[in-house]
Amino acid sequence: MCKERCEINLGFTSEKFKEGTHMCFIYSDEEERKSVITKFIEAGVKAGEQVSYIAYDMEKEEMIDWLKTAGVSISEKDITLTSTKETYCPTGAFVPEEMLETLRGLYNSSKRNKYKSARVSGEMIWALDGIPGSERLMEYESLINRVVETHPITAICQYDANKFDGATILNCLKVHPYMIVKSQIIKNPYYMTPEEYLEGKV
């Protein structure tokens, strides 16, 4: 186990990144999305990491079948799958502070259970369902960058470019230090620190 942040294999790129990398995946092709996420999950399981996935409308059995179809040997115990509703808005409203605590909890759980690290990916389409508090989504995304400083959980936030409007996508870029482009991770030139982005907003 690393005393400092370990460099980890993300699966879909040959380059290694430190745990705690916060990335946005803005996609328009479903097959590309599945390919990247499948490799991200598989690499985490193989490395002995705690892997969590937050799905919009998929049951665990469906996810296992999807991964097996892609050639990934995985069992239900290798991954924690929860729904966006129960994770992001369990009380019927989205409260960023509560979700940030959930991320800290996932990381702490990985340490307690002797995993090498922790990674998570969430489908963000739930934010278009008109759920109270969803207007604070980018505030939450920005604050993740503070959380990973002390709880370095590696995260991919998935945004469907066919569903989210241009203004949301632009803000998404502002709050993620890294972005995934053609299965490569690029340092985001649009990124703003939480202090910069949230000034005057909260």
Domain boundaries, the chain: 18-198
Q: Tell me: pLDDT of 122 over 70.
A: yes
50: exposed, middle or buried (Cβ count in 10 Å: 0-12, 13-18, 19+)? buried
Mean pLDDT of 111-118: 95
* CA–CA dist 25, 172 (Å, integer): 10
Residue type, 49: E
What CA–CA distances, in Å, run from 153 to 59, 102, 170? 23, 11, 24
The pLDDT of residue 202 is 58
The pLDDT of residue 2 is 54
Residues 154-176: tens digit of each pLDDT? 999 999 999 999 999 999 999 99
Identify which has the larger pLDDT, 8 or 1.
Answer: 8
Least confident of 13-17, 30-34, 68-72: 68-72
**How would you classify the pairing of strands 154-160 and 7-8?**
unpaired
Predicted TM-score of the model (pTM): 0.94
Mean pLDDT of the chain: 93
Multiple choice CATH, 18-198, 2.60.40.2230, 3.40.50.300, 3.40.1010.10, 3.10.450.50: 3.40.50.300
Name residue, tokens 């207007």: 135
